[in-house]
Amino acid sequence: MGYPDNAIYAIVGYVVTTSILVGYAVVLFLRTRKEQRAQR
C-alpha cells in the first residue's frame, strides 16, 4: 500500500485519550459516591 509504518503513534494517541476521559469519569464517580455518603 505504501503507507508510512506509524500506527504506533495512533495507538498511543487513542490510549492517552481513553485514559484521560475514563480517568476523569472515575474521579467524578468517586466524588459522586463520596457526596452521596456525606448527604446521608
Partner 1 sequence: MTNSNPIERLLKRGWTLTIAALLSLVAVYVRVVYFTPVESTQGPAQKIFYVHVPSAWAALVAFAVTGIVSLLYLKRRDEKLDTIGAASAEVGLVFGAVMLTTGPIWGKVIWGAWWAWDAKLTSTLFLYILFVGYVVLRGAVVDPEMRARFSAVVGILALILVPFIYFSVNMFRTLHPEPPVLRSGGPALPGSMLLTLMLSVVVFSVLYVGFLMVRYSLSVLKDLREKRAADGIS
What are the CA-CA distances from residue 1 to residues 5, 8, 9 (Å)? 11, 17, 19
Task: Write each residue from 1 to 40 as x if it is in contact with partner 1 (CB under 8 A), else as -, in one continuous string.
Answer: xxxxxxx-xx-xxx-xxx-xxx-xx--x--xx--xx-xx-
What are the CA-CA distances from residue 21 to residues 5, 17, 30, 38 (Å)? 27, 6, 14, 26
Find the shortest distance in angstroms from Cβ 4 to partner 1.
Answer: 4
Where does this chain bind partner 1 (CB under 8 A)? 1-7, 9-10, 12-14, 16-18, 20-22, 24-25, 28, 31-32, 35-36, 38-39
